[in-house]
Structure 1
Amino acid sequence: MVDRGLLYQEWKQHQALFLVVFFLLFLSTPFSIINDYFSYQSCMEYYSNDCQFYFDYSLGGSLQFFWAPGVLLAIVQLGLDRSKGVLDFTLSLPYSRSQVYHTKFLMGGMVLVGAQLLGYLLSKLLFIFLQPGRVDFFDHYMIGSIVISLMAYALVMAAGAITGNIFAQLLTSFSVTILPFLILVLPVLNLEVIIGHEPFWHELFLERFPIVDNPIWQYIIPIIYVDPHWVQESKYILLIPAAMCMLFYLIGFFSFIYHPSERSGSFFLWKQLDRPIQVLVIILGVLAFGYAGYSTSQSLFGYVIGMIIGAIIGFLISYFAIYKKTKHL
């Protein structure tokens, strides 16, 4: 499935980036532990009675943006490679498309997971050696950082397999991270504008769609994991980003195999997506600006004006983003 020669080529093409990402993820948490220890020692010299040496990862740890290296790797491995023509060269080699995608994903995944696992083991050794008073949520935080960084990596890789340039890859990735919120919340907010805030309608809606009133639904929104408050939740929460990681991987894999990968500069490599996505952007623009207009004026007139403005803005953004090709690097 993965050829060693292709794996070596991928390594040589992005060796510097892989090493930077690896050591960043590997050393960040152990370095922060050592730094906190020295801060504790300094405190003991002057305020020995008020110093405490413990670690609480309930609000996140040393690397708040642990998802960012995965995003960077995916942009370079697919978006930048396509824009520079490197992907065209790789696809011209005697390897199948599935081998190329598997190799890229395997290399990026090994860097992300391997670095964080080694950082986790080194941190555990430091805890044994330094003996802090307590360590809270560390295992959950480190496992979560691995899962969520892989989810972010798989998402941006999938976006890169669907789109034809880096801008499209980033915009599509960001849109997907907030799409569940837009699809679930915007219609509900607009429905409240239309039918009012009567308790009967509200209770009827929650009875028919109980997921809206369940706090667990927020975790199907990928961008929610940027805020590390998930660390304080149940460990089973991480099954959601793990499942999304598998979904994004499959989407990226099949898109890379069946869609054209040449650097045409188009927004979507599969042209059949252009019109449906444009319609979706316009609808979301209408709903978002319509509700904003109502919130500002507290009147249906402001609601209608907002919908008109949203339709125009949604059309312009979708038209120039989707139908305007970018130049090659």
Structure 2
Amino acid sequence: MVDRGLLYREWKQNQVVILLSIVFLVLVNPLIVYHSYSISEACLVRFSDPRFCAFTLNYHINSHIQFNWMIGIILAVCLIGIERSKGTMDFLLSLPYTRRQIFQTKFWLGAVVIVCSQLVGFLLAWLLILILKPEQVNYFEHGSIGMIITSFMFYSLVMAAGTLAGNAFAQLLTAFATAILPYLIITLPIYHIGILSRFQAWDFFSYEFDHKLMDFTPIFYADSSWMLDSKYLLLIPAVMSILFYLIASISFKKQHNERNGHFFLWRKLDRPIQILVIVLGILGFGLVGYSTGKSIVGYIIGMIIGGVVGFLISYFSIYKKVRH
């Protein structure tokens, strides 16, 4: 699956990014533990009252570990998006390797960096906790293992977007749109039904429905609030990771016409995505126009503006090739 020659090539090309990613992912978790301990010790020096200076770890409150998923995005862009933007992907594909070998080497190199580095950081943090003995630790295992899963999910998502897109900007925009799309395609029509029918359609849906909908929206996991929910919630990003991996693997092998620089490598995606962008622009701006004055006139004006903005954005981003 993973070729040594390709692995060495990817290592040499992305050596700095990979090393910095490893250092960050390994150190961030133990540094969080030590930082909390230092704050507690400084508090004891100042107030000398242990009741006000308890050494506790709360991984669901302002924990910097929740930003680990950004490393996955950076690695995915470096491994695919930047190569497409520079035009070096054509040279890589001309080498005596199969597309499957190229993709598997790229994908699993980043995956190993993300997973193994965080596992090492988890073990170091666990050892520090045993040594420093905090009074209370909240969501340490759940938060640490959860961040490995969510980081891998975002990495898989951006890699999948990279196999569909022809440049780094298109890769990031496609990944972001996919991350929020499940929520948008359901909530926007519901709000518009409420506007057109003169009642609050959203009132017919409970808070639980809204919360469950967010569970299936990838961008929801960018925030650490998921730690407060059931531990089985992590099965959803785990399944989405597998789905994004399969999409990325199939897409990379099937895209024989690279079209580097274009928004999408597959030309047939251009028109449906443009229509989707225009529709979302109409719905989004229409909702904003209605909310400003609660009038149908503002609603219609907002929809017109949204249609124009959606058309211009989709036209100049999708149909204009980016020069290398």
- Under TM normalisation by the shorter chain, which class is it? over 0.9
Report how far residue 167 of structure 1 moved.
1.1
Of the structure 1 ranges 115-124 and 225-234, higher mean CA displacement relative to structure 2 is found in 225-234
Equivalent of 2:240, from 244, 250, 262? Answer: 244
1:241 alignment partner AA: P
* Partner of residue 269 from structure 1, selected from 265, 277, 292: 265
Q: Distance in 2 between matches of 1:275 and 1:62?
A: 40
Q: Aligned pair 1:23/2:19, yes or no?
A: no
Aligned partner of 1:295 in structure 2 is 291
Deviations 1:8-47 (A, max 9, x none): 2211221111110001010011122122222222222232
Identical counterparts, % of pairs:
49
Unaligned runs of 5+ in 2: none
8 Å contact kept, 2:150–2:237: yes
Q: What pairs with 1:1-329 in structure 2 (closer than 5 Å)?
A: 1-49=1-49, 50-197=52-199, 206=205, 213-260=209-256, 262=258, 264-328=260-324
Aligned 8 A contact 1:260 1:270 in 2: no
Matched residue type, 1:46: R
Distance 1:221 1:16 in 2: 32
Runs of 4 or more above 6 Å deviation = none
Do the aligned partners of residues 154 and 28 (structure 1) sit closer, same or farther apart at CA in structure 2, a change above 3 Å counting?
same
TM-score of the pair, normalised by structure 1: 0.93
CA distance in 1, matches of 2:256, 2:164: 9
Unaligned runs of 5+ in 1: none
CA–CA distance in 1 between the matches of 2:9 and 2:26? 24
Distance change >3 Å, CA 188–CA 16, structure 1 → 2: same
Deviations 1:183-215 (CA, angstroms, capped at 9, x unpaired) = 0100000000111216xx667x64xxx898352
**What is the identity, as a one-letter code, of the residue corresponding to 1:87?**
M
Report the alpha carbon displacement of residue 305 of structure 1 after superposing the two structures with TM.
1.5
Q: Greater CA deviation, 104-113 or 255-264? A: 255-264
* Post-superposition CA distance 1:155-208 (Å, at most 9, x none): 11111100101111111111111111110100000000111216xx667x64xx
Q: Whole-Å Cα distance in 2 between the matches of residues 261 and 160 of structure 1? A: 14
> Which has the higher mean CA deviation after the structures are superposed, 264-273 or 44-53?
44-53
For residue 160 of structure 2, what is the amino acid of its counterpart? A
